[in-house]
Chains A and B, each alone.
Chain A
Amino acid sequence: MSLLDLRDFGVTRRGRDILRNINLRVGAGELVGIVGPNGAGKTTLMRGALGLIDAVGHSSLGALSPHARGRAVAWLPQSREIAWPVDVQTLVALGRTPHLGAGQGMRVADHAAVDRAVARMDLGAFRNRTTTQLSGGEQARVLIARALAQETPLLMADEPIAGLDPAHQIATMQTFAALVREGRSILVSLHDLGLAARHCTRLIVIDRGGIAADGAPTAVLTPDLVRDTFGIRAFLKDTPEGLIFQPLEVVG
């Protein structure tokens, strides 16, 4: 079963191709890392696939009605916007928006979903705290909980671990991995290739508006690709502790 299907997909802005000839399928149980240098088009790919910006070609999510899309995919934008000082519980509950009919209040099932999301992100102690007074890392976790409360088969997250401390970065990736083991899929853009290599089941490298590589981390992160795409030399080794990827120096 495919949760996201892009065929001959592209995005053009002001007459310039930002993305072109993208063909991509995401099935169930995949933790897909989207990596690539700055400006490669990672965010554009995700927003285009969601139908938030105009795109050409086919996107299975973009073809859905807004309401149906809200139940098919949860989207966690990079900007961690919390406009008003609402409490954690309220903010997480916003994730249930696509599941409610017009004028319908929160049902028992919705409250249960919020509880699960709060528990999974370990936010029980924060429930009644005001979100805008939390630290940046705590806010990031609350926003992830919001996306989890949406309980969609697919979660798309744009750099969700940027700005988090190492413990929270790892914890977040582990949470994603756990979700994936339960059968959901996650498409996440990352800058930290080490974390991407370690936790993702699949990596997609975006470079200059196209897919440069797509596959298992060991297959993708070859010395040639790392050099050509990222301009660095790196250390990569499969160890008993898992895959270790460490950038070493800038080349050429």
Chain B
Amino acid sequence: MNLCTDQLAMLVAGAGQLVSVSHVARDPLSSAMAKEAAAYPVNHGLAEEIYLMQPDLVITGSFTARATVDMLTRLGIEVVMFEPAATMAQITDRIEQMGAVLGQQKRAAALITEFDTQLAAFQAEQGARPRAALYYANGYTLGDKTLAGQILTTAGLANIAAEYGFSGGGVIPLEVLAMAQPDTVITGRPYPGASRSEEIVRHPVIDTLRRAHPDASISNSDWVCGTPFVLRAIDDMVALRREIQKATP
């Protein structure tokens, strides 16, 4: 019923264990496992449709539709809620939790080992930290206490949100961003259909900042959920960092 738990479940679950995933899980922009999700019937997080599927267990995120969860509980269906992961350590916790919930401890353990190995490889290599800005629609940025912030830090980049005292999320006005002169601006990839909120990432100021340095437009799917796919995000960021370090000796 939740994009992130869907993905964890698809990674950990054995054959036939998973009945349905949420419709967002099929959206290639948000979901790193859109292809895999195509194999499952989708739900829209409505209590009625989920009840009719008669599952033994519903797994959802703690921010997902409270009313639906309450209703399902009243109807006698067991619901497990997962806190979203905001650090690398929490990701392994969630994988472990998913393994326990689905009775697939072994598969979970294997995933964790693989995840930790790759993560360690990234952390081995460090150097000067180029200053990066995460910049989303409406001038939103994310700080160190968020998963995206953790991805940056792990990849060896300094998040300028910290310079402005953001640890969670917040808005950095475009002017302030321009004055901060980050070494790179990392923006979300726009969703289909235009929106004025996303226009900000095409503002001439952003273009100018980007011309000076290598930049990146990130694919949301690897960044939004605490799953092993964040490794791909970190990998992208490490590549970006190397590029910047090469350009500015």
- Direct A–B contact present (CB less than 8 angstroms): no
